[in-house]
Amino acid sequence: MHKLGHCGNDERLKNIIARYLEIRKCFGHEEDDARSHIADFKRRIGQRGKQ
């Protein structure tokens, strides 16, 4: 969503996406990173983790 421009500069929405990704990772539900959108989002918000 972020890379496709759906967030704009909405920090609240960026935080929601980041928390969603953390929860998915904790429960082992990480999906494939289509075109590296998830990795790009994590990099842009400063999170490091499994890609």
For 4-46, what is each residue's pLDDT tens digit? 666 777 888 888 888 888 877 777 766 666 667 777 777 877 7
Q: Tell me if 1 is assigned to some domain.
A: no
39 or 1: which leads in pLDDT: 39
Angle formed at CA 1 by CA 9 and CA 7, multiple of 5 degrees:
15
Backbone angles phi, psi at 41, to 5 degrees: -60, -45
Give residue 38's domain range. 11-49
Which pLDDT belongs to residue 20? 82
Q: Tell me if 45 is assigned to some domain.
A: yes
Confidence band, pLDDT 50/70/90 cuts, at residue 1: low
Q: Tell me if 17 is assigned to some domain.
A: yes
Spatial CA neighbour of 16 closest among 51, 41, 50, 43: 41
Q: Tell me if 42 is assigned to some domain.
A: yes
Confidence band, pLDDT 50/70/90 cuts, at residue 2: low
Q: Tell me if 29 is assigned to some domain.
A: yes
Q: Tell me if 6 is assigned to some domain.
A: no
Q: Tell me if 24 is assigned to some domain.
A: yes
Q: Tell me if 5 is assigned to some domain.
A: no
Which pLDDT belongs to residue 50? 46
- The tally of domains found in the chain comes to 1
Residues 6+ apart with CB under 8 A from 18: 41, 42, 45, 47
- DSSP letter (8 states) at residue 5: T
